[in-house]
């Protein structure tokens, strides 16, 4: 029997709300932030998270906001690791395709 990991979605939503950012969609271990500009991914440890930036975001603006997000999560007791970029596209069958870039955040 596998261990169920608690996902503190309420705390994440509260930290983001304090930054005037909103959770626009949450699914399984993924939390889409600010209309998919950012993506937070849960890890096996509830206080350790990964932050991805949408590849379509303007790098300078995204980096500034990402830094603010990381600092706010640090103050709230989370370790939020900038983990690169992701792309989101629509498939022919109206499903979504999510791809992570293995590169480090720029």
Q: What is the pLDDT along the chain (106 residues), one digit of tens a residue?
A: 556 667 899 999 999 999 999 999 999 999 999 999 999 999 999 899 999 999 999 999 999 999 999 999 999 999 999 999 999 998 999 888 999 986 544 4
Q: What is the pLDDT of residue 105?
A: 43
Closest CA to 15 of 80, 106, 82, 84: 80
> Are the beta carbons of 24 and 33 closer than 8 angstroms?
yes
Q: What is the pLDDT of residue 34?
A: 93
- 34 SS3 class: coil
Question: What is the distance between the alpha carbons of residues 23 and 32, in angstroms, rounded to a whole number?
Answer: 6
Supply angle C-alpha 23, 81, 75, rounded to 5: 70
Task: Round to whole Å and give the CA distance between 77 and 34.
Answer: 22
């Amino acid at each position: 029997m596998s261990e169920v990991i608690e996902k503190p979605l309420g705390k994440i939503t509260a930290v983001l709300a304090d930054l005037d950012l909103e959770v626009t969609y949450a699914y399984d271990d993924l939390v889409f932030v600010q209309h998919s500009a950012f993506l937070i991914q849960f890890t096996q440890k509830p206080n350790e998270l990964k932050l991805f930036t949408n590849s379509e975001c303007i790098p300078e603006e995204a980096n500034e906001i990402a830094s603010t997000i990381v600092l706010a999560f640090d103050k709230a007791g989370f370790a939020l690791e900038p983990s690169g970029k992701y792309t989101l596209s629509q498939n022919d069958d109206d499903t979504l395709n999510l791809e992570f870039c293995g590169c480090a955040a720029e």
